[in-house]
Amino acid sequence: MACRVAAFGLLGWLLGSSFFTSSSRRTERANAATVSTHLQAWTRAPATTAIQLDLSVVPDAWVVDWLAALRRSNHLVSWSGSPPAVALATEPVADPQGGVRIDVAAPSGATVVVRDEGGVIDSARVSTLGATIVTPIVIGAVSASVGAQRAMATPVDSAPVRSAVVIGGAGWEGKFIVSALEERGWPVTSRFSVAPNVDVTQGAPLVIDTARASVVIAIDSSIQSRAAALERFVKSGGGLILAGPAAQSGALRGLAPGAVGARTRPTVHPSDTMRLGTTGFYPVTSLNAGGVALDRRADGVVLAARRVGAGRVLQIGYDDSWRWRMAGAPGSERAHREWWSRLVASVAYVPPSPARPSSEAESSAPLARMVDRLGPAQSLLDTTTSRPPVDRRILLAIILSLLIIEWGSRRLRGLR
């Protein structure tokens, strides 16, 4: 009789607890290493169960999704700790020889290790603005690790490059800019003025449009007659490089990153080896709204940039970089070629890439994604005792055992 009463008592308790939830919460705790092992039990636990996570790193994306689902089913899910804020972005380099630019944001002073599926690519110490690594090729997904925290991203396909348009008066600077870009593999269209109303052209007919050109390079103020077309080109995403005195044109001052001062040139002896810094240049004396100085010398800013609409404008003070190529130290020809190619790649128009599937970008910013799914860090104020949940299968087994014992005792009494 006692076994039957106990069995029906337990059965009644199970039925009652399923209809009437307790107002007190039981707190379950876990850390980043153990959270995945508790998910199934937490899913079967009543909604009064509070889940508190103490995290030093962000769990895997699927774990965060599971926790978010528990949160939506009225479980109280919260987390505390200080996981590193790591974010990773990859984009193709606008260069005929390809390449991938990897940008990493992480706490200042942290050491970040960048890998792909082939192994370690590089490591860097993060400065205030993050770290950037450019690699000629990547194999599969790219990951960035700061300690135990890892962010992952899948690079997009290589960027298709269009022609670079060089416009200005005929001279050594334009000639060697074209040579440097062609040697790098850029398709180049050029138009050089040799006399009033007399131009020498190279390549396809000159059309300043993002459908055919990625970037326009102006080497002097003769570009001002095309100011309206240039403004449309830049605002629609095209890149513009204003070299030397090109930004002096009044028609282009609205696009230029800054105002141009008088040309200066350091004293150079015939026996000196030419460097980029020993060539003449037009300093940027003041920056326009949105202009950013990228390189400075004692005489002023020599490299400045600005975003205009969807495009970018780069202003270069140097107007005779060809001297560096022709009279520089060994390797100056290659250095001149790579320098100009980097400048062009930094502003060149690249057609938009197809949108990535959401699964590929899930963990490119793990902490930001977790905050979006679970909310900001907070600690539970619940002071109830943390105890493991009662597995209802065990209770059902006890009820069944009690009923079997009660049935067996009745049968044994009948045998007497």
Look up the CATH number of the domain holding residue 115. Answer: 2.60.40
Do the domain assignments include residue 66?
yes
359 found inside a domain: no
Structure tokens at 353: 């890439």
pLDDT in tens, 300-359: 888 999 999 889 999 998 888 888 888 778 888 899 899 999 899 889 988 876 655 544
Banded pLDDT at 381 (limits 50, 70, 90): very low
Decide if 358 is inside a domain: no
Examine residue 76 and state whether it is found in any structural domain, yes or no: yes
For residues 48 and 126, membership in a common domain is answered with no
- Contact by Cβ (8 Å): 141, 152: yes
Mean per-residue pLDDT of the chain: 81
Judge if 74 and 111 occupy the same domain. Answer: no
Alpha-carbon separation of residue 154 from 62, 90, 139, 151 (angstroms): 17, 7, 10, 11
Residue 355 lies inside a defined structural domain of this protein: no
Choosing from 103, 137, 158, the residue where a domain stops is 158
Give the residue from 253, 248, 247, 241 showing the smallest Cα distance to 314: 241
Domain tally, the chain: 3
Which of the given ranges, 141-150, 203-212, 356-365, 388-397, has the highest pLDDT on average? 141-150
* Residue 239 confidence (pLDDT): 92
In 278-305, which positions are buried (b, 16+ CB within 10 angstroms) versus exposed (e)? bbbbbbbeebbeebebeeeeeebbbbbb
Cβ neighbors of 11 (< 8 A, separation 6 or more) are 399
Both 48 and 108 in a single domain? no
